[in-house]
Amino acid sequence: MNRTEKHQTVDSLHERFQGVPGLFLIDYQGLKVVDATELRRKIREIDGSYLVVKNTLALRAARGTGVEQLASHFEGPTAIAYHPKDVLGLAKLLTEVVKSNPTVRFKAALVEGRAVSAGEIQAIASLPPREVLLGRLISVLQAPIRKLIGVLKAPVRDLQTVLRQIEK
Protein backbone atom coordinates (compact mmCIF):
# COMPACT_ATOMS: atom_id res chain seq x y z
CA MET A 1 0.00 0.00 0.00
CA ASN A 2 1.60 3.26 -1.08
CA ARG A 3 1.37 6.59 0.73
CA THR A 4 -1.53 7.93 -1.38
CA GLU A 5 -3.63 4.81 -0.74
CA LYS A 6 -2.91 5.09 2.98
CA HIS A 7 -4.07 8.74 3.04
CA GLN A 8 -7.23 7.80 1.16
CA THR A 9 -7.89 4.93 3.57
CA VAL A 10 -7.36 7.17 6.60
CA ASP A 11 -9.64 9.88 5.18
CA SER A 12 -12.34 7.34 4.33
CA LEU A 13 -12.18 5.79 7.82
CA HIS A 14 -12.21 9.22 9.47
CA GLU A 15 -15.45 10.10 7.66
CA ARG A 16 -17.01 6.79 8.69
CA PHE A 17 -15.92 7.20 12.31
CA GLN A 18 -17.46 10.68 12.55
CA GLY A 19 -20.96 9.60 11.63
CA VAL A 20 -21.18 6.33 13.55
CA PRO A 21 -23.24 6.17 16.78
CA GLY A 22 -21.81 2.78 17.72
CA LEU A 23 -18.77 0.74 16.84
CA PHE A 24 -17.36 -2.58 18.05
CA LEU A 25 -13.72 -3.70 18.13
CA ILE A 26 -13.33 -7.45 17.75
CA ASP A 27 -10.34 -9.74 18.13
CA TYR A 28 -10.95 -12.08 15.21
CA GLN A 29 -7.82 -14.18 15.70
CA GLY A 30 -8.68 -17.84 15.18
CA LEU A 31 -11.78 -17.11 13.09
CA LYS A 32 -11.89 -19.38 10.05
CA VAL A 33 -12.25 -17.81 6.62
CA VAL A 34 -15.63 -19.47 6.12
CA ASP A 35 -16.88 -18.08 9.44
CA ALA A 36 -15.48 -14.63 8.67
CA THR A 37 -17.26 -14.62 5.31
CA GLU A 38 -20.49 -15.68 7.00
CA LEU A 39 -20.06 -12.92 9.60
CA ARG A 40 -19.55 -10.31 6.87
CA ARG A 41 -22.68 -11.57 5.09
CA LYS A 42 -24.81 -11.36 8.24
CA ILE A 43 -23.59 -7.85 9.00
CA ARG A 44 -24.27 -6.74 5.42
CA GLU A 45 -27.82 -8.14 5.69
CA ILE A 46 -28.60 -5.68 8.49
CA ASP A 47 -26.86 -2.85 6.57
CA GLY A 48 -23.81 -2.80 8.82
CA SER A 49 -20.12 -2.81 7.96
CA TYR A 50 -17.21 -5.02 8.96
CA LEU A 51 -13.64 -3.90 8.32
CA VAL A 52 -10.23 -5.27 9.00
CA VAL A 53 -7.72 -2.44 8.84
CA LYS A 54 -4.21 -1.84 10.09
CA ASN A 55 -4.19 -0.52 13.64
CA THR A 56 -1.92 2.42 12.78
CA LEU A 57 -4.26 3.57 10.03
CA ALA A 58 -7.29 3.16 12.27
CA LEU A 59 -5.61 5.19 15.02
CA ARG A 60 -4.81 8.00 12.59
CA ALA A 61 -8.40 7.98 11.35
CA ALA A 62 -9.75 8.00 14.91
CA ARG A 63 -8.11 11.34 15.79
CA GLY A 64 -10.76 13.93 16.51
CA THR A 65 -13.63 11.41 16.67
CA GLY A 66 -15.28 9.47 19.47
CA VAL A 67 -13.37 6.36 18.40
CA GLU A 68 -10.24 7.96 19.82
CA GLN A 69 -11.45 6.81 23.26
CA LEU A 70 -10.76 3.23 22.15
CA ALA A 71 -7.16 3.89 21.07
CA SER A 72 -5.68 1.58 23.71
CA HIS A 73 -7.62 -1.37 22.27
CA PHE A 74 -6.08 -1.17 18.80
CA GLU A 75 -3.49 -3.85 19.48
CA GLY A 76 -3.16 -7.17 17.73
CA PRO A 77 -5.63 -8.34 15.10
CA THR A 78 -8.57 -5.95 15.23
CA ALA A 79 -11.76 -5.92 13.21
CA ILE A 80 -14.19 -3.02 13.29
CA ALA A 81 -17.93 -3.58 13.04
CA TYR A 82 -20.39 -0.71 12.94
CA HIS A 83 -23.91 0.19 11.92
CA PRO A 84 -25.09 3.68 10.98
CA LYS A 85 -28.30 3.39 13.06
CA ASP A 86 -28.99 0.04 14.76
CA VAL A 87 -26.25 -0.40 17.35
CA LEU A 88 -28.39 -2.75 19.44
CA GLY A 89 -29.11 -5.09 16.52
CA LEU A 90 -25.42 -5.24 15.64
CA ALA A 91 -24.53 -5.93 19.28
CA LYS A 92 -26.98 -8.86 19.35
CA LEU A 93 -25.61 -10.27 16.11
CA LEU A 94 -21.99 -10.00 17.23
CA THR A 95 -22.80 -11.52 20.63
CA GLU A 96 -24.25 -14.57 18.87
CA VAL A 97 -21.07 -14.86 16.78
CA VAL A 98 -18.85 -14.58 19.86
CA LYS A 99 -20.89 -17.31 21.60
CA SER A 100 -20.64 -19.65 18.61
CA ASN A 101 -16.90 -18.98 18.03
CA PRO A 102 -14.97 -19.10 21.31
CA THR A 103 -11.78 -17.81 19.66
CA VAL A 104 -13.47 -14.52 18.73
CA ARG A 105 -13.83 -11.96 21.50
CA PHE A 106 -14.86 -8.36 22.00
CA LYS A 107 -12.12 -5.85 22.77
CA ALA A 108 -14.28 -2.78 23.40
CA ALA A 109 -17.07 -0.73 21.90
CA LEU A 110 -18.25 2.80 21.41
CA VAL A 111 -21.99 3.21 22.06
CA GLU A 112 -23.66 6.60 21.74
CA GLY A 113 -20.31 8.36 22.11
CA ARG A 114 -19.30 6.44 25.25
CA ALA A 115 -16.54 3.86 25.51
CA VAL A 116 -17.85 0.50 26.71
CA SER A 117 -15.79 -2.41 28.02
CA ALA A 118 -16.08 -5.91 26.61
CA GLY A 119 -18.06 -7.05 29.65
CA GLU A 120 -20.73 -4.39 29.21
CA ILE A 121 -21.40 -5.36 25.59
CA GLN A 122 -23.30 -8.46 26.73
CA ALA A 123 -25.60 -6.27 28.83
CA ILE A 124 -26.22 -3.98 25.86
CA ALA A 125 -27.02 -6.94 23.62
CA SER A 126 -29.59 -8.25 26.10
CA LEU A 127 -31.62 -5.02 25.99
CA PRO A 128 -35.01 -5.23 24.29
CA PRO A 129 -35.53 -3.30 21.04
CA ARG A 130 -35.97 0.45 21.16
CA GLU A 131 -39.70 0.30 20.41
CA VAL A 132 -40.28 -1.98 23.42
CA LEU A 133 -38.27 0.33 25.70
CA LEU A 134 -40.24 3.36 24.49
CA GLY A 135 -43.50 1.50 25.10
CA ARG A 136 -42.42 0.69 28.65
CA LEU A 137 -41.43 4.31 29.25
CA ILE A 138 -44.81 5.55 28.04
CA SER A 139 -46.55 3.03 30.28
CA VAL A 140 -44.56 4.22 33.30
CA LEU A 141 -45.30 7.86 32.49
CA GLN A 142 -49.04 7.16 32.10
CA ALA A 143 -49.37 5.17 35.35
CA PRO A 144 -49.77 8.15 37.75
CA ILE A 145 -52.38 9.77 35.51
CA ARG A 146 -54.34 6.50 35.24
CA LYS A 147 -54.30 6.07 39.01
CA LEU A 148 -55.47 9.65 39.51
CA ILE A 149 -58.35 9.10 37.10
CA GLY A 150 -59.29 5.91 38.97
CA VAL A 151 -59.31 7.77 42.29
CA LEU A 152 -61.42 10.60 40.85
CA LYS A 153 -63.93 8.13 39.38
CA ALA A 154 -64.24 6.14 42.63
CA PRO A 155 -66.85 8.34 44.43
CA VAL A 156 -69.15 8.37 41.39
CA ARG A 157 -68.74 4.62 40.93
CA ASP A 158 -69.39 3.99 44.63
CA LEU A 159 -72.48 6.20 44.57
CA GLN A 160 -73.74 4.35 41.53
CA THR A 161 -73.21 1.02 43.29
CA VAL A 162 -75.10 2.23 46.40
CA LEU A 163 -78.02 3.49 44.29
CA ARG A 164 -78.27 0.13 42.49
CA GLN A 165 -78.34 -1.66 45.83
CA ILE A 166 -81.09 0.63 47.08
CA GLU A 167 -83.07 0.08 43.89
CA LYS A 168 -82.93 -3.69 44.35
Question: Residues 38-88: pLDDT tens digits?
Answer: 888 998 898 888 988 888 888 888 888 888 888 888 888 889 998 888 888
Highest mean pLDDT among 17-21, 30-34, 97-101, 137-141: 137-141
Q: What is the mean pLDDT of residues 105-127?
A: 84
What pTM was computed for the model? Answer: 0.73
Q: Using an 8 Å Cβ cutoff, are 49 and 128 in contact?
A: no
Q: Which residues of 125-160 are buried (b: 16+ CB within 10 A; e: fewer)?
A: beeeeeeeeeeeeeeeeeeeeeeeeeeeeeeeeeee
Question: Does residue 30 have a pLDDT over 90?
Answer: no
The confidence score (pLDDT) of residue 167 equals 87
1: pLDDT strictly greater than 80 = no
pLDDT for 135 equals 93
Give the pLDDT score at 70. 85
Output the pLDDT for position 137. Answer: 92
Q: Is 50 helix (H, G, I), strand (E, B) or coil?
A: strand
- What is the reported pLDDT for 15? 87
By percentage, how much of the chain surpasses pLDDT 70? Answer: 100
